Chain A
Amino acid sequence: MYQTTYHRASSLEDAAKLHAGGDDPKFVAGGMTLIPAMKTRLSAPSDLIDLRHIDGMKGIRISGQQVEIGALTTHADLAQSKELEKACHSLHYMANHVGDPLVRHLGTMGGCVANNDPAQDYPAALLALDATIITTSREMKADDFFTGLFETALEEGEIVKAVRFTAPDQCGYEKFRNPASRYAMTGVFVAKGAGGVRVAVTGAGDNGVYRETEMEEKLAANFSADALEGVTVSPSNMMSDIHASAEYRANLVVVMAKRAVAKAAGH
């Protein structure tokens, strides 16, 4: 790790001030991606601004069908929430299957959203749930927020405060883990709600999380795994690496989608 200056922000205003004063500053919450990158000297922020002690950014608020999750809520908080399980069992399941216990107790929803790692789970959930991302300066739909590999619509200094979505009628998430890192090598989240069916894929697309619109159409007509019989995904827009070729990932998208739908239907 290179030398860095650690700051504990007391409020969002304080965080903004610290950020403006830094040379090459970075916000940190759980640090589950950033700290390992810093340890291997791949990332070298001049200032590390810790957001975890800011009040009011943690917790799950559920009112009727509306679910709002504070950005500093950890995976473990989500994984232990009975209310969340009732409102959206697949997001609850997802939180239970992120990383390992250490990661789940440190990593946060906001950190995952802002980092938009192409193998992270939450972007698939938020995109499929048609969620709204609430930041220090605006509200954005997930469709507009996630823009590419590790890329989001966040401006310099803008902080994710919370995410909000309407609980779906039915949902399912299935992921196939990378054998080494255990991140999603392909994860598919399906959600059926008032707005129709949405299918979001993480870990597979070469531009990060994306929606499988052909599957959405078929599932809108018939929300069952059978509806996806014969559907194929083109490998042309898939990531390819030593663990999974584009062809293999394209196959996994279909397999995981079918299993996610079956899970949703069986719940």
Chain B
Amino acid sequence: MGIEGIGARVARKEDKRFITGAGRYVDDMVVPGMKHAAFVRSPHAHAQIKGIDVEAARAMPGVIDVLVGKQIKADGIGNLICGWMVHSKDGSPMKMGAWSPLAVDRVRYVGDAVAIVVAETKGQARDAAEAVEVDYAELDAVTEAPAALEGGAPQLHPEAEGNLIFDWGLGDEAATDTALASAAHTVELEIVNNRLVPNAMEPRAALGHYNKAEDHYTCWTTSQNPHVARLVMSAFYNVAPENKLRVIAPDVGGGFGSKIYIYPEEIVCLWASKKTGVPVKWVADRTESFLTDAHGRDHHTKVKMGFDADHRIVGLKVDTIANLGAYMSLFSSATPTYLYATLLSGQYDIPAIYGNVRAVYTNTAPVDAYRGAGRPEATYVLERTMETAARQLGVSPAELRRKNFVKSFPHQTPVIMNYDTGDFAASLDAALKEADYAGFEKRREEAKGRGKLRGIGMSCYIEACGIAPSAAVGSLGAGVGLWESAEVRVNAVGTIEVLTGSHSHGQGHETTFAQLVSQRLGVGIDTINIVHGDTDKVQMGMGTYGSRSGAVGMSAIVKALDKVEAKAKKIAAHLMEADEGDIVIENGELKVAGTDKTVPWFQLALAAYTAHNLPQGMEPGLKETAFYDPTNFTFPAGCYICEVEIDPDTGRTEIVQFVAADDFGNIINPMIVEGQVHGGVAQGIGQALLEGTRYDETTGQLITASFMDYTMPRADDLPSFRISTQTTPCPGNPLGIKGCGEAGAIGSPPAVINAITDAIGTNELTMPATPQKVWAALRSATRH
């Protein structure tokens, strides 16, 4: 490892501009003649639109135009779509209701966009938005998924009878039932996975600019995947053909999944720019973010797990109701199915698994992938069940898990996934040691003396990253392939630009991707620029989510670098009159192995571009492109152990110790990986202890619509994490990377809740385990 190569703790190149306030976000973009937009949004969770009167608003100071749903429909702009087809058990396709970018005759959640006002200033646009008179006939609303399935529940979409989008199954139900019927012990639980609001630091924003003279659109947007945005806006929403639409996602301040999707606002801003003849900018305020960013999680699950007399798992049956909100967001169907039920085997060798998932419409914000996306839900179900099983069987939670671990690889689970490698015992052992698991009872006694209830809980997670082999996801219903592209451009003096289809919105790609190039060519990372987020610069890419940028995005760079190196070696061999096979690249030089003959990298690059002396027939220049399609998912895994102390008088939980032991495969920059673990665990602890999205069940109003009521984790809610990594390199990609972006959020919630339930002696507890809930659980446990 060089000082800036793979494995080095290199400080992030991009942080200088971020920490000095010099980042350039969508809201920083200014186009001559640019005006400002405000959206008129539904104050009702469910209502018929009887009429919209825009005249008063149109007459307000500074107003350029007010546009409504009927106009966007008349102009042929398409409905929003879900890009992953899921079929129900009966073979029928999912029942997707229409989602117009601006509601035409019905609104289905509080925040549903009804009209756009374009005005000279943001304030004028907002004032005028309040003057738009919408005549609503209110309808009954339903916010909880189980209630939406009941007879007589308010119906959201005519396409989805009974609000049921699909009733999907994975695995062998008959075999699972048989296994459970003959099990020596069974464990049953009902589990709620709480709905979360992503709350990226930067709210969503869009700037649409239609250039009439060129008949060309440019869209600056807060996207994790600008190319997918362009593809979808071209192919499905009829905004413009791809060659007439440029999408730019500049610096983006956090995504966590919520910025994967194409939302109504960017479509409407582009269309409104053409309608009004001015560039149109919209930036969400925090309230709009709470109301309209795609939320995460929201599952109701019944689980049954069976064990034989030797405590080996014989079967697992899971029945889940997933709340998808009022409309199907871009990947909403995949999150509770192929990203969820496929992980139900966990780290365990389970011969029979069956997962049933019913996806349901409700009068709430759309729900889609959020950091972890399906895998946190699967891990929570499994790891709550394993811990409960150990308590019921009276055995060590660690040893029950160890007994059931998958121990040989590759391992085919009953739910699609084929685990390529791993060493689950290594992470378990590392975590047990770091947590001093054996010494816990002594600490519990000591805490008791201080009037505190101390508990310990663990979670052994596995997840699937690096999505994904295109043919495989295509066969499962994905509307896109999930490869990645890269272009390595060597400039004439040897500096390098890497164009990638991955998109960095906090991940540090400008550093880690440069480290890879530095490792390969022996040049400093300051000579390497990473270019991303612009469809005019990078030809095509699939973006960043699902912890895929290392395993997939960097693999594409490796492939492009292979081609660059091959050509560079040919040129070097020609210049030094050596055999191509004898050329090695080291420390920024091309050398003839075993001799003192060298060509510096910059000279080689210059030779490629002067083209005065190239091998016969070789094209000038040094620039190569590659596409990489992964061969399998990657499988990060690990063990988390949480220790808590609870104040029985107030129910307040303090996390006194948190240990994370992860196997992410090979690591490019340990410092950045640690940051990802810290952030992920903070979000997982947020879900477990703090973050609970609440809608009023009657009115459908979002009660937790600001930070006054929605508890984001803060530094003083968290302990100092004790983290380590154990490495089994991933055999599926050239760098051996598994991915690390989501593991913390996936593995931590069950560890926290297992610790709290251990401390209070009852399982009657739902996330977030607020002081009030823990106090009430303790009280009802003492009463019984």
User: Which single member of B287, B650, B707 contacts A181 (CB below 8 Å)?
Assistant: B707
B83 to chain A minimum Cβ distance, whole angstroms, is 35
Whether B123 and A179, one on each chain, are in contact in the complex, defined by CB atoms closer than 8 angstroms, is no
CA distance A201 to B680 in the complex (A): 38
Q: Assess whether B775 is in contact with A248, with CB atoms less than 8 Å apart.
A: yes
A176–B772 alpha-carbon span in the complex (Å) = 11
A180 to chain B, nearest CB (A): 4
Q: Which residues of A contact B708 (CB under 8 A)?
A: 180-181
B450 to chain A minimum Cβ distance, whole angstroms, is 14
Contacts of B652 in A (CB 8 A): 176
Q: In the bound complex, what is the Cα–Cα distance between A252 and B123 (angstroms)?
A: 43
A159 to B771, CA, bound (A): 39
Contact bitstring A225-265, B, C-beta under 8 A = 1, else 0: 00000000000000000111100100110010000000000
A255 touches which of B650, B712, B776 (Cβ 8 Å): B650
Q: Judge whether A40 is part of the interface by a CB distance below 8 angstroms.
A: yes
The answer to whether A242 and B707 touch across the interface, beta carbons within 8 angstroms, is no
Partner of B650, one of A40, A41, A180, A252: A252
Q: Does A220 contact B (CB under 8 A)?
A: no
How many Å lie between the Cα of A77 and that of B293 in the bound state? Answer: 41
Chain A hits for B649, CB < 8 A? 251, 255
Question: B771 — nearest CB in chain A belongs to which residue?
Answer: A179
Chain B's nearest CB lies how many Å from the CB of A256? 9
Known interface pairs A242-B704, A248-B775; A180-B123 also in contact (CB < 8 Å)? no
In the assembled complex, the Cα of A113 lies from the Cα of B651 at a distance in Å of 31
**A6 within 8 Å of B (CB atoms):** no
B452 CB–A CB distance under 8 Å: no
In the bound assembly, the distance between CA atoms of A255 and B651 in angstroms comes to: 11
Task: Decide if A242 touches B650 in the complex (CB within 8 Å).
Answer: no
Query: Contact between A3 and B123 (Cβ–Cβ < 8 Å)?
Result: yes
A40 to B126, CA, bound (A): 11
B611: min CB distance to chain A, Å:
61
The answer on a CB contact under 8 Å between B772 and A180 is no
Report the bound CA distance from A244 to B772 in whole Å. 6
Contact A248 B776 (CB under 8 A): yes
Q: Which of A40, A180, A245 contacts B711 (CB 8 A)?
A: A180
Which A residues touch B690, using CB under 8 A?
179-180
- Against B, the Cβ 8 Å flags (1 = close, 0 = not) of A1-43 are 1110000000000000000000000000000000000001100
Tell me the complex Cα distance, A244–B651, Å: 11
Pair A180/B709 contact, Cβ less than 8 Å: yes
Q: Which residues of B contact A248 (CB under 8 A)?
A: 651, 771-772, 775-776
How many whole Å from A121's CB to the nearest CB in chain B?
16
Q: Cβ of B711: which chain A residues have Cβ within 8 Å of it?
A: 179-180
Contacts of A41 in B (CB 8 A): 126
Interface SS, A side: loop
Q: How far is the CB of A209 from chain B (nearest CB, A)?
A: 20
Whether the pair A242, B776 counts as a contact (CB closer than 8 A) is: no
Contact digits for B322-358, partner A, Cβ 8 Å, 1 yes 0 no: 0000000000000000000000000000000000000
Q: Given the interface contacts A1-B123, A40-B287, A180-B709, does A243 sit within 8 Å of B772 by beta carbon?
A: yes
Q: B722 at the A/B interface (Cβ < 8 Å)? A: no
CB distance from A252 to the nearest CB of B (A): 7
Q: Which of B127, B704, B710, B776 contacts A2 (CB 8 A)?
A: B127
Q: Mark A189-205, 1 if CB is under 8 A from B, else 0.
A: 00000000000000000
Interface of B is mostly: loop
CB neighbours (8 Å) of A2 from chain B are 127
What's the Cα separation between A214 and B127 when bound, in Å?
Answer: 52
Residues of B within 8 A of A255 (CB): 649-650
What is the CA–CA distance of A55 and B775 in the complex, to the nearest angstrom? 49
Does any Cβ of A come within 8 Å of B694's Cβ? yes
State how many angstroms separate the Cβ of B215 from the closest Cβ of chain A: 39
Q: What CA separation (Å) do A248 and B652 show in the bound complex?
A: 12
A182 to B, closest residue via Cβ: B714
For residue B468, give the distance in angstroms from its CB to the closest CB of chain A: 37
Contact among A176, A180, A243, A251 for B707, CB-based, below 8 A: A180
Report the minimal beta-carbon distance from A171 to chain B, rounded to whole angstroms.
21
Most buried by A among B123, B772, B776: B772
Which residues from chain B contact A252 at a C-beta distance below 8 Å? 650
Chain A: minimal CB distance from B122 (Å):
10
Complex alpha-carbon distance, A243 and B690, angstroms: 10
User: Is B770 touching A243 in the complex (CB atoms < 8 A)?
Assistant: yes
- Complex Cα gap A242–B776 (Å): 13
Chain A, residue nearest B775 (CB): A248
Interface size on A, residues (CB 8 A): 17
CB proximity of A68 to chain B, nearest CB, Å: 33
Q: Which residue of B lies closest to A183 (CB)?
A: B708
Alpha-carbon distance between A176 and B770 when the two chains are bound, in angstroms: 13
Within 8 A of A (CB), among B340-386: none
Across the interface, do B710 and A180 meet the contact criterion of CB distance under 8 Å?
A: yes
Q: Are B123 and A242 in contact (CB-based, < 8 A)?
A: no
How near does chain A come to B64, taking the closest CB pair, in angstroms? 19
Chain B residues positioned under 8 Å from A242 (CB to CB):
692, 694, 703-704, 709
Shortest Cβ gap from B752 to chain A (Å) = 15
Contacts of A176 in B (CB 8 A): 650, 652, 771
Q: Give the distance in Å from the alpha carbon of A242 to the alpha carbon of B775 in the complex.
A: 14
**B110-155 residues at the A interface, CB under 8 angstroms:** 123, 126-127
Contact at A243–B127, with CB atoms within 8 Å?
Answer: no
Query: What B residues does A179 contact at CB under 8 A?
Result: 690, 711, 770-771
Using a CB-CB cutoff of 8 Å, which residues 681-734 of chain B contact chain A? Answer: 690, 692, 694, 703-704, 706-712
CB proximity of A15 to chain B, nearest CB, Å: 27
- Closest CB in chain A relative to B38 CB, distance in Å: 12
A181 neighbours in B (Cβ, 8 Å): 707-709
Within 8 Å by CB of A251, from B127, B710, B775, lies B775
Q: How far is the CA of A139 from the CA of B241 in the complex (A)?
A: 73
Residues of B within 8 A of A1 (CB): 123
Q: What is the CB-to-nearest-CB distance from A253 to chain B, in angstroms, rounded to a whole number? A: 11
Taking the closest CB of chain A, its distance from the CB of B130, in whole angstroms, is: 8
CA distance A3 to B652 in the complex (A): 43
B657 CB to nearest A CB, Å: 21
In the docked arrangement, what's the CA distance between A176 and B650, Å?
Answer: 8
Contacting B at CB under 8 A, from A161-193, are 176, 179-181
Which residues 744-780 of B sit at the A interface, judged by CB distance below 8 A?
770-772, 775-776
Q: Closest approach, in angstroms, between the C-beta of A79 and any C-beta of chain B?
A: 18
Complex-state Cα separation, A245 to B773, whole angstroms: 10
Give the shortest distance, in Å, between A112 (CB) and chain B (any CB).
Answer: 17
* Minimal beta-carbon separation of A6 from chain B (angstroms): 15
Distance in Å from the Cβ of B123 to the closest Cβ of chain A? 7
Contact with A along B485-515 (1 / 0, CB 8 A): 0000000000000000000000000000000
Taken together as a complex, chains A and B put the C-alpha atoms of A41 and B517 apart, in Å, by: 51
- A215 CA / B557 CA spacing, docked (Å): 71
Mark B615-658 against chain A: 1 for CB-CB distance below 8 A, else 0.
00000000000000000000000000000000001111000000
Q: With a CB–CB cut-off of 8 A, which chain A residues contact B651?
A: 248
**Chain B residues, CB < 8 A from A243:** 709, 770, 772
Tell me the bound Cα distance from A244 to B712 in angstroms: 17
Chain B residue nearest in CB terms to A251: B775
Set of chain A residues within 8 Å of B694, measured between Cβ atoms: 242
* B710 cross-chain contacts in A, Cβ below 8 A: 180
Q: How far is the CB of B718 from chain A (nearest CB, A)?
A: 13
Check A245 against B650 for contact (C-beta < 8 Å).
no
What residues of chain A lie closer than 8 Å to B775, measured between beta carbons? 248, 251
Q: Which chain B residue has the least Cβ–Cβ distance from A245?
A: B772
Q: How far is the CB of B670 from chain A (nearest CB, A)?
A: 32
Q: Chain A contacts of B127 at CB under 8 A?
A: 2
Q: Which 7 A-B pairs have the closest CB atoms?
A: A180-B711, A255-B649, A181-B708, A179-B711, A248-B772, A180-B709, A244-B772
A-B contact pairs, 13 of them (CB 8 A): A3-B123, A40-B287, A41-B126, A176-B650, A180-B707, A180-B708, A180-B711, A242-B694, A242-B703, A243-B770, A248-B651, A251-B650, A255-B650
Q: Chain A residues in contact with chain B, CB under 8 A?
A: 1-3, 40-41, 176, 179-181, 242-245, 248, 251-252, 255
Given A3-B123, A179-B690, A245-B776, output 5 extra A-B contacts at Cβ < 8 Å.
Answer: A40-B287, A180-B709, A242-B703, A248-B772, A251-B775
